[in-house]
Amino acid sequence: MKGVVLISGSGSNLQSLIDNANHIGLEIEAVISNKESAYGLERAQQANIPIHTINHQQFSSREEFDQILSQTIDQYQPEIIILAGFMRILTPEFTQKYTGKMFNIHPSLLPKFQGLNTHQRALDAGESEHGVSVHFVTDELDGGPIIAQSRVNVLADDSADSLAKRVLVEEHKLFPEVVHWFTQGRLTLKDSQAFLDGQAL
Ligand code: NHR
Ligand code: GAR
């Protein structure tokens, strides 16, 4: 299945998708970043994947940025759009266009800790468990139907960094697995509900 991956940073989740691409039936047609400095762009180039940078600062509105982003994506006619550490909030016009085929990995056990700085906020809240969620992207920020989660224990001496590292290990396993379900045609979105093999998740 043809896919496009959107990133903003290090791209370690992109790397896990690249490494598992054959096994999960994914062909990454392009990687798009809103930041020129994103290390994930180098990972894409190493893997001979075309890259695009669309600097959001050069647009006067989110709508204009999203229009160019959408045009760039559509050149590749992807069947799946993957947000892998992508850090720009997307407009409803954009998300509605790709409903049911756009996925995000979010570093918390949603619905807990939507938005940013999730690891520090989990520590501050005294959580004993933390983790990662993969969800369908809808216009509700971090609020689309949850598909799968992985958990980690919070340790007494954890910092936001040590916790983030342990969560990332789980991210790198979970995201390719969920993408594989979708490329196999097992995962669908219907009436704002995620289904795997016809069973509501
Ligand atoms: N867009 C929509 N409509 N719905 C979602 O569920 C989205 C989305 C865009 C990105 C990823 C999300 C995350 O997993 C994501 C999900 C960025 C922000 C944010 O506040 C919040 C959530 C997510 C990504 N971004 C700031 C902004 O003004 C910029 C922050 C920065 O550049 O560091 O866009 O956490
Ligand atoms: C990951 O932990 C991902 O879950 C999170 O950013 C990190 C990106 O790492 N995503 C968000 O916070 C989305 N707002 P990576 O670039 O190495 O994959």
Residue among 14, 11, 105, 112 at smallest CA distance from 3:
14
Q: What is the pLDDT along the chain (201 residues), one digit of tens a residue?
A: 999 999 999 999 999 999 999 999 999 999 999 999 999 999 999 999 999 999 999 999 999 999 999 999 999 999 999 999 999 999 999 999 999 999 999 999 999 999 999 999 999 999 999 999 999 999 999 999 999 999 999 999 999 999 999 999 999 999 999 999 999 999 999 999 999 999 999
Q: Assign domain 2-200 one CATH number from 3.40.50.170, 3.40.50.300, 3.40.50.1240, 3.40.50.10420.
A: 3.40.50.170
pLDDT number for residue 58 = 97
Cα 186 to ligand 1 centre (Å): 27
CB contact at 8 A, 2 and 27: yes
pLDDT tens digits for range 140-154? 999 999 999 999 999
pLDDT number for residue 133 = 98
Measured between alpha carbons, how far is residue 42 from residues 73, 87, 128, 150, 181 in Å?
A: 19, 18, 36, 28, 27
Q: What three-state secondary structure class fits 170?
A: helix
Q: How do the domains of the chain map onto residue ranges?
A: 2-200
pLDDT number for residue 150 = 98
Cα 161 to ligand 1 centre (Å): 20
Atom of ligand 2 nearest to the CA of 15: 18
Q: Which residues are catalytic?
A: 106
pLDDT number for residue 160 = 98
pLDDT number for residue 28 = 98
